[in-house]
Amino acid sequence: MHFLTMLVAAFMVAIAPSGAVAQDISAPASTVDAAEVVAESVADGEVVIDETGGFEHFGPDRILGQPTSADEDMLASMTFQDQYTANGNYALWMHDAILLPIIFAISLFVLGLLLWVIARYRRAANQVPSKTSHNTLIEIIWTVVPVIILVVIAVPSITLLARQYQAPPEDAITIKANGYQWYWGYEYLDNGGFEVISNMLDESEALSAGEPHQLAVDNRMVVPVGVPIRLQVFGADVIHSFAVPSLWFKMDAVPGRINEKILLIEEEGIYYGQCMELCGARHGYMPITVEARSMEDYNAWVAMQPGGMTRAQIQAEDAAAAAPAPVEEATDDGTEEGEAVEAAA
């Protein structure tokens, strides 16, 4: 009994908030605050350039994906969050239109059978029990009907699996989510390779921003809406799991291995998620905030990140690098200067 008490106490300490565990995460260097940049250039007496490129983060009125509390809406709190991806909508349809009705019907049927047996075949009502031990017709029915039910479930189920395994197209924008103990880092591999470090806001900061505590973060994962994203998930230390319920996205972040899945968000907005793999003392304090923006806004946001480059910029740079040196007039002996230089090099 003593051992059990100690075990429970140890567990409580392990899951207690930061106060109980003397382990505070100092936020690593994160993206430069645009306001700071402007302030600095003012101090230096330079011309002030609008570093934000007109980009402003969405406010709490644009929150789409978040859990509902039971006080707010009992029914909504018991089911899935609203879905904002095609796969999510398909999965929600499968749950609402296929699985739940079947589960409901089977439960009612079994309950009815039980009540009937209890009432009809109780000792008082059934003095001389039947000696029947076989009934071919019933045996065929109770074999075939469950098979049909399973096939009916298997069709949409396997379809959903196949859709989730669909590889992102070649031109998808690659973003890598790195799980750290205990925060997330978002690497924008196709936009210059900068990484945004994302830490949870504390309660007063979250509430003053109008955002839910333990879901709001300081630096959001900004992504483009309506275009396929190749979201790679990686564990930098232990196994984490990148999960955003309203985007139907959950993928383990495993050290030494990159997992990837397509993410295509249908609507601009803010979507909250959390780490969903027990990863240590502050596992419950590494939320995810995805902000889906139009391509134009996304590019404006990328441009204000240190080292951030839009696709157009990268393509222009690549084109400039790949462009052949201006072709010189052929010299008398028939060789071109360009060729001679290349050969010498």
Among 91, 231, 270, 279, binds Cu ion (CB under 5 A): 279
Our finding on whether 282 is near Cu ion (CB under 5 A) is no
What is the per-residue burial (b if ≥16 Cβ within 10 Å, else e) of 261-290? bbbbbeebbbbbbbbbbebebbbbbbbbbb
Task: State the nearest-atom distance from the C-beta of 283 to Cu ion, in Å.
Answer: 5
The crossing angle, in degrees rounded to 10, of helices 86-93 and 136-164 is 170
How many CB atoms neighbour CB 292 within 10 A? 28
Rounded CA gap, 69 and 145, in Å? Answer: 39
| Cβ distance to Cu ion smaller for residue 233 or 275 | 275
Strand partners, 272: 289
Task: State the nearest-atom distance from the C-beta of 276 to Cu ion, in Å.
Answer: 8
Burial grade of 221 (CB within 10 A; 0-12, 13-18, 19 or more): buried
Both tokens of residue 300?
């404006």
Give me the 84-123 binding string for Cu ion, x by CB under 5 A, dash otherwise.
Answer: ----------------------------------------
| Cβ distance to Cu ion smaller for residue 175 or 288 | 288
| Cβ distance to Cu ion smaller for residue 34 or 281 | 281
Q: What part of residues 131-160 is at the interface with Cu ion (CB under 5 A)?
A: none
Stretch that binds Cu ion, among 39-47, 69-77, 267-275, 310-318 (CB under 5 A): 267-275
Stretch that binds Cu ion, among 127-135, 136-144, 198-206, 269-277 (CB under 5 A): 269-277
Pairing of strands 269-275, 259-263: unpaired
Task: State the nearest-atom distance from the C-beta of 56 to Cu ion, in Å.
Answer: 30
Count, in order, helices (H) and strands (E) of the chain.
10, 11
Residue 195's H or E segment, with its range, is: strand 195-198
Q: What part of residues 214-253 is at the interface with Cu ion (CB under 5 A)?
A: 240
Among 223, 251, 275, 304, binds Cu ion (CB under 5 A): 275
Count of residues binding Cu ion (CB under 5 A)?
A: 3
Which positions lie near Cu ion, rule CB under 5 A? 240, 275, 279
